[in-house]
Amino acid sequence: MEMKPQDGRRSPPHREVPPVVGLLLAMAVMNGLLYLCLDRFFIAPRRSALDPQHCPYGHFRMGQMNNCSAWLSCEELRTEVRQLKRVGEGAVKRVFLSEWKERKVALSRLTSLEMKDDFLHGLQMLKSLQSKHVVTLLGFCEDDNTILTEYHPLGSLSSLEATLNLSKYQAVNTWQQRLQLAMDYVGIIHYLHHSPLGTRVMCDSNDLPKTLSQYLLTSNFSIVVNDLDALPLVNHSAGALVKCGHRELHGDFVAPEQLWPYGEDVPFRDDLMPSYDEKIDIWKIPDVSSFLLGHVEGSDMVRFHLFDIHKACKSQTPAERPTAQAILDTYQKVLNSLRDTVTSQTREML
Ligand SMILES: *[C@@H]1O[C@H](CO)[C@@H](O)[C@H](O)[C@H]1NC(C)=O
Ligand SMILES: *[C@@H]1O[C@H](CO)[C@@H](O)[C@H](O)[C@H]1NC(C)=O
Ligand SMILES: *[C@@H]1O[C@H](CO)[C@@H](O)[C@H](O)[C@H]1NC(C)=O
Ligand SMILES: *[C@@H]1O[C@H](CO)[C@@H](O)[C@H](O)[C@H]1NC(C)=O
């Protein structure tokens, strides 16, 4: 975009253009280029990131590793992993930032033997559901009650706002990137509903903060599920439904069928509480997605376009709620159409 007059005939009108207009034009061009570059560098390549699935069962690969490596054994965990500091604690396990062969890794230790069943269930799920949607398992030792997984320095989705607020991440704090995160999230739910272990329900999600803490933000700004300690199986053909825990649930984050249906006058009894299916996960998607979209320029525009699909997710009748796949398709359509609109607006400005 040459701003200098090309010849004598074209120079007079140019002289009448106030410098500020030239500046604005230059800024528009810069914005356009920036947009195209961001689109190229921050959205396109991460989709092609290597999938841990490329390794055979019982093996892993992470970061810059060329080859797949076998899951670490008890012996290797005891001798090769150095525990550095505690970075998290849940009901079932404590998580320590640790070091293995000069790489940062996450070592989880069972907190109390009472929780051993949950711990083993989580480990079983982790082993069987290794994929791009799930944190990479590096090793485990049932005798020591330890599990070693890939470490993601950006932490869980609980700290998403604080992370994206950092100046070095301002460039990725856009509605496009945030909608992509929502797609990752719904992609995980879809995967769990069609997993190699059947239809799995994400039960550790009775409120928004709890739900967010189950997922990690990778350095590539994608989402992996980290905690698989409560993933009961729904088997529609066998009529097997689930209940998330044995206690009464409250509030409107959980699906209506998760609430005690017999009124305040009848005391809660677990054996009388009806069970339900994976559509409880669908009910929660609008709240999680809305959190992920945040409050940046364009977030409300995206929310507006997702209004109808999110309304369907909030249907009182579970069977009327869309599948995770239908939601994913709608998100993709909205992403494509809004991206095209923004791109053509940018071209018009040029
Ligand atoms: C991020 O992407 C790069 C290549 O694009 C890949 O090598 C790396 O494993 C990815 N990291 C994570 C944490 O997914
Ligand atoms: C990776 O595997 C290839 C072929 O199996 C082998 O030649 C190479 O030495 C391995 N590299 C490492 C770092 O283990
Ligand atoms: C984001 O950063 C600004 C200043 O840099 C600060 O005032 C604000 O509280 C931060 N917000 C969050 C959610 O961390
Ligand atoms: C679901 O139940 C059917 C019938 O009982 C059974 O054949 C099938 O293996 C079950 N599926 C899973 C994933 O357990």
- Give distance in angstroms: CA of 297 to centre of ligand 3: 16
Which three-class secondary structure state does DSSP give residue 87? strand
Q: What is the pLDDT of residue 172?
A: 93
pLDDT attached to residue 44 = 38
Q: What is the pLDDT of residue 236?
A: 96
Check whether domain 157-341 has CATH 1.10.150.20, yes or no: no
Mutation probe of ligand 3 site: the residue of 163, 164, 165 with most atoms within 8 A of C-beta: 165
Using CA atoms of 29, 33, 36, 39 in order, give the dihedral in degrees to the nearest 10: -120
Output the 3-class SS for 115-142: HHHHHHHHHHHHHHCCCCCECCEEEEEC
Residue 64, ligand 2, Cβ within 6 A: no
Encode pLDDT of 112-166 as tens digits: 999 999 999 999 999 999 999 999 999 999 999 999 999 999 999 999 999 999 9
Atom of ligand 1 nearest to the CA of 218: 13
Residue 13 confidence (pLDDT) = 45
- The ligand whose atoms approach the alpha carbon of 237 most closely is 4
**For a substitution probing ligand 1, which of 136, 220, 221, 224 has the most ligand atoms within 8 Å of its CB?**
220
Q: Which atom of ligand 3 is nearest to the CA of 162?
A: 14
Q: How many of the other CB atoms lie within 10 Å of CB of 202?
A: 23
C-alpha span between 200 and 122 (Å, rounded): 12
Distance 295 CA to ligand 3 centre (A): 13
Domain ranges of the chain: 51-150, 157-341
CB atoms within 10 A of CB 18: 9
Of all protein residues, the one whose alpha carbon is nearest to atom 6 of ligand 3 is: 165
Distance CA 57, CA 71 (A): 9
Distance of CA 105 to the CA centre of its chain: 20
- Does residue 349 sit in helix, strand or coil? helix
Ligand 4 atom nearest residue 235's Cα: 1
Looking at the structure, give the CATH architecture of the domain made up of residues 51-150.
Answer: 2-Layer Sandwich (3.30)
Closest atom of ligand 2 to 65 CA is 13
Segment 190-228, tens digit of pLDDT: 999 999 999 999 999 999 999 999 999 999 999 999 999
What local confidence, expressed as pLDDT, does residue 1 receive?
A: 42
Is the pTM above the cut of 0.75?
Answer: yes
Pocket of ligand 4 contains residue 235 by CB under 6 Å: yes
Contacts of 296 (CB under 8 A, 6+ apart): 173, 174, 175, 178
Measuring from atom 12 of ligand 4, which residue has the nearest CA?
A: 198
Query: Which regions of the chain are under pLDDT 50?
Result: 1-15, 34, 36-50
pLDDT of residue 345: 72
